[in-house]
Amino acid sequence: MTTCASPLQPNEHYDSVSRATHWLMFLLFAWIYCSAITHYLASDSTLDKWLWPFHKPVGLLLLILLVLRAGWSLLSRHRRPPSISRIAATGHGMLYALMFLIPLIGMIRQYGSGRAFSAFGVPVMDGFEGEKIQWMVDLGSNFHSLLGWTMLVLILGHVAAVIVHYWQGDAQVLQRMTRGGRKH
């Protein structure tokens, strides 16, 4: 008879909630970066007019998912697989920090602009009359895109590291986020 690990013992794989939020966020980040690249390279194109209006709402959705994912990570921290190295832990920490800071800075800029913001038809913040709050607008203008492109480089590094591990015969790194199962 095979017995499963105790609920407080680390698993070899991430649980279904962690995997689902990881891959859902992957899809939403793909949308975010497609919209940003299209807006940068082909502003006012048909594709830009279709993608760009969803950039802010999808960014807010990513922020909400990040908060839920971080909360779940804390609740399930004793059952998560350990990090494979300090470099991996540092890289993940940097990604989490940027995933939080980038939309937060975007929201600060949005508020400072005085414009209202609705996400998928749900009012998020009211606009206001009068002058913009310039430091908020400047913060967003100076750092939102810069940090976004920085995060894209980290994401590409994250993917490259998984590929390198896989090529080196360490398929378990990829399987931790693609397959379920408990340590037996």
Closest CA to 60 of 18, 128, 119, 115: 119
DSSP assignment, residue 94? H
* Phi and psi angles of residue 114, each rounded to the nearest 5 degrees, phi first: 85, 0
Cα 130–Cα 132–Cα 48 angle in degrees, nearest 5: 115
pTM comes to: 0.86
Closest CA to 35 of 14, 51, 11, 59: 51
**The domain over range 16-178 is classified in CATH as 1.20.58:** no
Structure tokens at 48: 């830009």
Q: How far apart are CA 30 and CA 71, in angstroms?
A: 23
Q: Where do the structural domains in the chain lie, given as residue ranges?
A: 16-178
Using the structure block, give the residue that is written with the tokens 């980038």.
102
Closest CA to 91 of 177, 32, 159, 143: 159
Say if residues 112 and 158 touch (Cβ distance below 8 Å).
no
Q: Which distant-in-sequence residues (6+ apart) come within 8 Å of 131 by Cβ?
A: 114
Write the pLDDT tens digit of every residue in 91-122: 999 999 999 999 999 999 999 999 999 999 99
Tens digits of pLDDT across the chain (184 residues): 444 444 445 678 889 999 999 999 999 999 999 999 999 999 999 999 999 999 999 999 999 999 999 999 999 888 888 888 899 999 999 999 999 999 999 999 999 999 999 999 999 999 999 999 999 999 999 999 999 999 999 999 999 999 998 898 877 888 888 886 554 4
